[in-house]
Structure 1
Amino acid sequence: MSHPDNTPGLDDLDRLAICDIAALPPDMLLTLQEAALTETARIKRLRDRLEAGIAQRYGAASEAERAAQGKTSGTVRIEDAGVVVIADLPKKVTWDQERLAAMAARIAASGDDPNQYLEIAWRVPERRFTAWPEAMREGFASARSETTGKPVFRLETRDR
């Protein structure tokens, strides 16, 4: 839907070519981006409310079904007036890193290979890496790779 002054609105973006959108004046791009962010927040709020209502309606029944199946997590199916409700309660497992390191040391000390039991992942926080002395960074440089993600552009007025 175009606005009264004939400027495009969010609903017009589907019919515009990307090059036409790119050619819009910066203030119009800013207005459209702010409108899209506002609409995204509104839709997220509505979806969160809908999901909360669904959880309230089917939470107890799905927990009862899970208990009947002897499960503490996972997926169960319940039916309500011909609608199948698939309720998933994902399992989240976390491991105490210090205890795992101690276990790996014990396994290695007994002559066994910890890699047969554990997956060990090493990481260097980027802030720490950039704070190291040059000689230290050079030693680690061959083990480091860098990629980029999708570019994000945020538009603001000059007075913000």
Structure 2
Amino acid sequence: MDTRSNRPTLDALRHLPVGEVIALPPEHLALLQSDAREALDAAKRTLDWIEGAIALRYEQRAVGARAAAGKDTGIVRFEDGTVEVAVELPKRVEWDQRRLAALVEQIRAGGEDPGEYVELTFKVSERAYAAWPERIRGAFEPARMVRTGKPSYRLTILNDVALRDSPHGPGIRPAIGGPR
């Protein structure tokens, strides 16, 4: 029996206790995960389309409002009928790292503490770190902290050939209706 046809819908899934979701056959979980990703992608495309239309509709009015307010960045507001439109143009500041390093040295040479003016941050490329000689890596090791992110799980329904060739051992077959 094909267990794919009697799986819950995404809408029904929202109302199931997590214990029931955990107990679903792995094929159902894989298909539901795929459905959810497709729905999310479709929603993102729709949102992008709507936001693009909004930007086209109000771009010139926002430019005018920004000019009238004498602002290069930040939030400007105007009304369109009964709707207030708030348009934010964020400020993104980037600093030339070499020039900052030279300025820090000038401040230090002048007898002042550069820490009063700038925050210093050091970065080490993980690729470069891996290529360093062992003695250099050893010196830096106490300063290195590895943090993990949120794990992600992607379920894929394997066909018979993929199951046969799986590195997890021969003879593994999908369990329909739960573990054997």
TM over 0.5: yes
Q: What 5-or-longer segments of structure 2 have no aligned partner?
A: 163-180
Tell me the SS of whatever aligns to 1:5. Answer: helix
CA RMSD of aligned residues (A): 1.9
Equivalences for 1:58-69 in 2 at 5 Å? 58-69=58-69
Q: What 5-or-longer segments of structure 1 have no aligned partner?
A: none
Q: Where has structure 1 moved over 6 Å in runs of 4 or more?
A: none
8 Å contact 2:13–2:21 — kept in the other structure? yes
Q: Which has the higher contact order (CA 8 A, sep 6+)?
A: 2
Tell me the SS of whatever aligns to 2:79. Answer: strand
Residues 100-120 of structure 1: CA distance to partner in whole angstroms, max 9, x if unpaired?
Answer: 111112222222222222111
Distance 1:20 1:149 in 2: 27
Residues 24-61 of structure 1: CA distance to partner in whole angstroms, max 9, x if unpaired?
Answer: 12221111111111111100000001101111111111
Distance 1:24 1:125 in 2: 43
User: Could you tell me which residue of structure 1 aligns to residue 33 of structure 2?
Assistant: 33
Distance 2:132 2:146 in 1: 17
Matched, 1:130 2:145: no
Amino acid at match of 1:140: F
After TM superposition, the structure 1 stretch with the greater mean CA deviation from structure 2, 16-25 or 40-49, is 16-25
User: Could you tell me which residue of structure 1 aligns to residue 8 of structure 2?
Assistant: 8
Q: TM-score, normalised by structure 1?
A: 0.89
Larger Cα Rg: Structure 1 or Structure 2? 2
8 Å contact 2:77–2:87 — kept in the other structure? yes
User: Could you tell me which residue of structure 1 aligns to residue 50 of structure 2?
Assistant: 50
User: Could you tell me which residue of structure 1 aligns to residue 173 of structure 2?
Assistant: none
Distance 1:149 1:79 in 2: 42
Q: TM-score, normalised by structure 2?
A: 0.80
Aligned length: 158
User: Could you tell me which residue of structure 1 aligns to residue 75 of structure 2?
Assistant: 75
